[in-house]
Amino acid sequence: MQRPLFLLLLLALAACAPLPSGLPEGAVPYDLRSGKALGAHRAARAAGIYVSWQTTTDGLEQSVSIVRYNPRKMHTDIVTAHGAAADSVGALCARHGAVAGINGSYFDTRALTPTTFVKDEGAVVGETSPSELYRTNGVISLSKRKISVDAADSTLTFDRWREALASGPILIDEGETFAYGEVPQPDNFYDRRHPRSVVGLDGRGNVWLIVVDGRAPGDATGMTISELTVLCRQLGLTDALNLDGGGSSTLWTEKGGVINHPCDNRRFDHAGQRKVPNALIVY
């Protein structure tokens, strides 16, 4: 019997000896502020790192990019720019003086306005539309240097938080893994392999921003939601929330530029960014 790809991915990642940094062997981390390459032990102690690597699972290529940082040493913010003000993740990061950033949640690609709950600097600037309820069951919330990634009712206003962004599906919540085999889903959203973006936390309180590339046969296959959950587990995440994916998936750093391969230009390069109305930034 042929084993599902996500099980093969689990075995492949398990076979990679983990570094003290929490990353697979062979992945070269760089300091988020200086851009200098780091050894395993220095990476484990760094305030923030970024890394990209290629791997093959069951003959399928995967391209993974990660930013990991300590929220006690770096700040996190949700930035919004709707309609004509929307821009690429890289441009939004540069506009706000960030050292790193990732795309946010789902949005109307024509109006460039959010279709999920968004709270920015205490003001609610987006609400979850009925069409997004099947996958929007989690939220990232920010208050000063405290960051929370939770399974949650997307209609909550989160009055105690200055900033919040609803998305989904939630992959891991306080160590509990979620499965979505019976969830009704347009276009097999859960089961097809797509580029994916994730925000998560590990047991040490570090924040992880992850992008898995896709839609680039021979270079990047993309992942299903189940495969993505396995990856998050293997990286040691105790909480993980899926963000908008597809052509929106972008991970940017000040020193490395766009470190993944956004697919909106249908080429496996770093130039295919899409305009988005919100992003998570680090500074």
Q: What is the largest CA-CA distance in the chain?
A: 53
Residue-level pLDDT at 153: 65
Residue-level pLDDT at 156: 58
Residue 223 sits at φ, ψ, to 5 deg, of -135, 155
Give kind and range of the element (H or E) at residue 177. strand 176-177
Residue 146 sits at φ, ψ, to 5 deg, of -95, 130
Residue-level pLDDT at 62: 96
Both tokens assigned to 261: 């391969």
Both tokens assigned to 135: 């996958």
Distance between CA atoms of residues 69 and 47, nearest Å = 6
Radius of gyration, CA atoms only, the chain: 17
Both tokens assigned to 66: 């990660």
Antiparallel, parallel or unpaired: β 118-120 and 257-258:
unpaired
Residue-level pLDDT at 231: 95
Which residue in the block uniquely carries the two structure tokens 């989904």? Answer: 168
Q: Closest by alpha carbon to 165, among 189, 183, 148, 144? A: 148
Q: Where does residue 186 rank: exposed (0-12), middle (13-18), buried (19+ CB within 10 A)? A: exposed
Residue-level pLDDT at 42: 94
- What are the angstrom distances between the C-alpha of 156 and each of 34, 137, 200, 239, 240? 39, 11, 20, 19, 19
- Beta-carbon contacts of residue 110 (< 8 Å; ≥ 6 apart): none
**140-159: per-residue pLDDT in tens?**
999 877 899 999 864 555 67
Q: Is 91 left (phi over 0), alpha (psi -120 to 50) or beta?
A: alpha
pLDDT tens for the 283 residues of the chain, in order: 334 444 445 444 444 444 445 687 778 999 999 999 999 889 999 999 999 999 987 789 999 999 999 999 999 999 999 999 999 999 999 999 999 999 999 999 999 999 999 999 999 999 999 999 999 999 999 987 789 999 986 455 567 788 999 999 999 999 999 999 877 788 889 999 999 999 999 999 999 999 999 999 999 999 999 999 999 999 999 999 999 999 999 999 999 999 999 999 999 999 999 999 999 999 9
Is the separation of the CB atoms in 57 and 231 below 8 Å? no
Residue-level pLDDT at 281: 98
Q: Closest by alpha carbon to 49, among 65, 79, 26, 69? A: 69
Is the separation of the CB atoms in 235 and 204 below 8 Å? no
